Amino acid sequence: MDIGSQLRKLLEQDGITQKQLAKDLNISTTTLNGYVKNRRQPDANTVIRLASYFNTTTDFIYGLTTLREPMASPYNADERHLVNIYRNIPEDKKSLFMETGKTFSNFVDE
């Protein structure tokens, strides 16, 4: 499935017009129509905003899953933040991050 199909499905399910969605996301109707008709591809930030708007996941927007509802996260906000930090660290620095985390975890035993 493609982004355009997913957007058409979401707009129909939620009873939202392209014009309203474009206004709510502060993008031009022409740009949004390009996404819906698969003439343009939204950048990653726009996909995140679309997923947030429709309370779904970026995987659903990209058509990688048929599950619209986001899965409940087993992590709290701080834990999600740490995971995001780790994911953005260059590969050659990840072991340093892990060693630092292990050092801090030793303080729990004191």
How many domains does the chain contain in total?
2
For the segment 16-62, what is each residue's pLDDT rounded down to a tens digit? 999 999 999 999 999 999 999 999 999 999 999 999 888 899 999 99
Chain-centroid distance of CA 59 in Å reads 7
The residue that leads in pLDDT, 74 or 61, is 61
Q: In the structure encoding, which two tokens stand for residue 8, read together? A: 């058409």
Provide the domain limits for residue 88. 77-109
Q: Is 57 in the same domain as 81?
A: no
DSSP letters of 59-110? HHHHTS-S--SPPPPSS-HHHHHHHHHHHHS-GGGHHHHHHHHHHHHGGGG-
d(CA 11, CA 15): 6
Q: Is 90 in the same domain as 54?
A: no
Q: Is 9 in the same domain as 51?
A: yes
